[in-house]
Amino acid sequence: MCTLNYTYFGPALLVLPLFLISLVNLFVAGPPLKTIVLDSAGPQFGASLPFMKLDVAGSSAKFTLTPKDEMTHFFVVTTYMSPSASAPVKLDASVTGKKPRPGESADTLSIMEALNHVASGVAADTAGHATANPHHGAAPSLQLLQPLLGYSEYDVVIRSLGAGKAAKPATMPTMEYRLTYVPTRFTYTQIGVRAFFTLTSLLMLICYAVAMCAQRRSREPGQLWMFSLLVLLVALNDPLYIVRVYLGGHHGLYVASVFGQILFSGGLFLFWLVYADGMSAAGERGCCFYLPKALLVAIYVGVSGAMFIVHGRLPDRINVSDAHGLYDLREYDAQTMMVIALCASVVAVGVWLSVLVSQAVYRLGWKKVEYIYTEREKSFVGITIVFVILSLCGHLYRAVHGRRGSWMQLQLPFLTLTNSYLLLLTHAFWPSEEGAVAPAERNAEGGDDDDDYPDERGKGQGLLADDDDE
């Protein structure tokens, strides 16, 4: 009689939550980015919304933004030159933030602080690219990304300068202004999902720690790995996200959240390599076993951290290179080298893991050693293959999808997939008095690989019992 086992049960528990979170993304969260488009009719123009005001007068345009209850995380101001602009101009933009004085409300006098400044080198020219129709893929004449940093009000001032060496103020040409930001509806959905996963991961961590302490047998290496991954999973679920939204943005908390995500992925890569290689390795595991894997993962973590510190994380499909000086050749070369190093480390981990998993799958299909792996090891191989395939599909979608904010749209699916994967691994590695007997230990006790297959071996260690009629 054929019964369900991890081969069918594991993938189903990975795919079903993805389907449910996709419905949440589609019907509850809504689009991750919202864009307001304003066309100025000349050097004098004004527009107003409850959270935004635009005044264009003479040689400057000023955005006054009040993000409370409307926008979160960051906003992007983009300008496009009108095809009718004939005189070449240069644009200069600066951002200031306002905070109420201690004991005063947001409506009273505020303390103003400079936050950001960008000077655009792109000029409107009848012979240049800026004369194209801005609605048909023209390059922006100026673009400025500003993370929210807890201020009650942000002022973005754009100035028009002449193309000469003197750079005197010039009349603001007819332009299209775009304001892109993260709406609160999407953010509040993220808060609810992340709070749920943070709670469940904390409960799993506490229950797993209690089970490990109650276990009379010595702790197995796989159990210590799972405990470490559950700690990092709490960081991946990002409980600081809720605090950042409540504070209206906080750079320090954002940096801590990003490094938590980097450390989780590095820890998961190291666990994969060590455990997959350990399934085939026999005897003592010395420095030569761990050092190459730890070095490869350390390169990935180091390069990822350096890229974030130097360049930060930018929204997909929004070109903000002007704000980061990427036209400097030396900086561009440094960024390129870091991207190459990051890609090389990830590819190396993927190739190495593929070889180890392929070897395990080959050994699983070899009838003579069919029982060389425990149910725990079979569970690891099965659900890891499905997890990696689904993750690759998500990254491919992110790479080829043209809609802005696609990476934000995929945050909850990736988070759900990772939590489901760790839940299944936690079940597979749950501390039990009926621990799986390693092949080397079984042979040392006089067992025969060909004839002696203990029926109780690994029972309770897989996702479901895998009973064989043979």
Summarize pLDDT for 198-236 with one digit per residue, the tens: 999 999 999 999 998 888 777 777 788 999 999 999 999
Residue 175, H or E segment:
strand 175-183
Q: Is 263 helix (H, G, I), strand (E, B) or coil?
A: helix
CB 431 within 8 A of CB 223: yes
- Looking at mean pLDDT, say which of 68-72, 335-339, 372-376 comes out highest: 68-72
pLDDT band at 120 (very low <50, low <70, confident <90, very high): low
CB 460 within 8 A of CB 434: yes
Give the distance, in angstroms, between the CA of residue 448 and the centroid of all CA atoms in the same chain. Answer: 48
Does residue 3 register a pLDDT over 90?
A: no
Residues near 137 by beta carbon (within 8 Å), at least 6 away in sequence: none
Does residue 127 register a pLDDT over 50?
A: no
Tokens representing residue 360 in the block? 């395990």
Does residue 467 register a pLDDT over 70?
A: no
CB 141 within 8 A of CB 89: no
CB 82 within 8 A of CB 92: no
> Dihedral angle at the C-alpha atoms of 78, 83, 86, 90, nearest 10 degrees?
10
CA neighbor of 454 nearest in space, from 462, 439, 52? 439
The model's pLDDT over 343-352, given as tens digits with 9 standing for 90+, comes to 888 888 888 8
The whole-number pLDDT of residue 178 equals 92
- Looking at mean pLDDT, say which of 120-129, 165-174, 253-262, 397-406 comes out highest: 253-262
Residues β-bridged to residue 65: 52, 154
Whole-number Å distance between alpha carbons of 439 and 360: 14
Residues near 408 by beta carbon (within 8 Å), at least 6 away in sequence: 32, 33, 182, 186, 315, 316
H-type helices in 30-124, by residue range?
none
Whole-number Å distance between alpha carbons of 166 and 143: 23
**DSSP E strand stretches across 7-151:** 34-39, 44-49, 52-57, 60-65, 71-81, 89-100, 110-119, 142-147
Give the residue with greater pLDDT, 106 vs 463. Answer: 106
Could you tell me the strand order of the sheet in which 44-49 lies? 44-49, 52-57, 60-65, 153-162, 89-100, 110-119
Could you tell me the strand order of the sheet in which 142-147 lies? 34-39, 175-183, 71-81, 142-147
Does residue 445 register a pLDDT over 90?
A: no
Q: Where are the domains of the chain?
A: 6-29+186-444, 34-181
Domain 6-29+186-444 CATH class label = mainly alpha
| Helices 375-400, 411-428: inter-axial angle, 10-degree rounding | 170
Considering the segment(s) 34-181 as one domain, its CATH architecture is Sandwich (2.60)
Does residue 32 register a pLDDT over 70?
A: yes
Whole-number Å distance between alpha carbons of 285 and 315: 43
The whole-number pLDDT of residue 229 equals 96
Tokens representing residue 350 in the block? 């993927």
Rg of the chain taking only CA atoms, in angstroms = 28
DSSP 97: E
Q: What percent of the chain has pLDDT over 70?
A: 69
Residues β-bridged to residue 93: 118, 158
Q: What is the mean pLDDT of the chain?
A: 76
Enumerate helices (H) and strands (E) in the chain, giving the number of each.
11, 10
CA neighbor of 278 nearest in space, from 147, 421, 436? 436
CB 34 within 8 A of CB 181: yes
Give the distance, in angstroms, between the CA of residue 460 and the centroid of all CA atoms in the same chain. Answer: 34
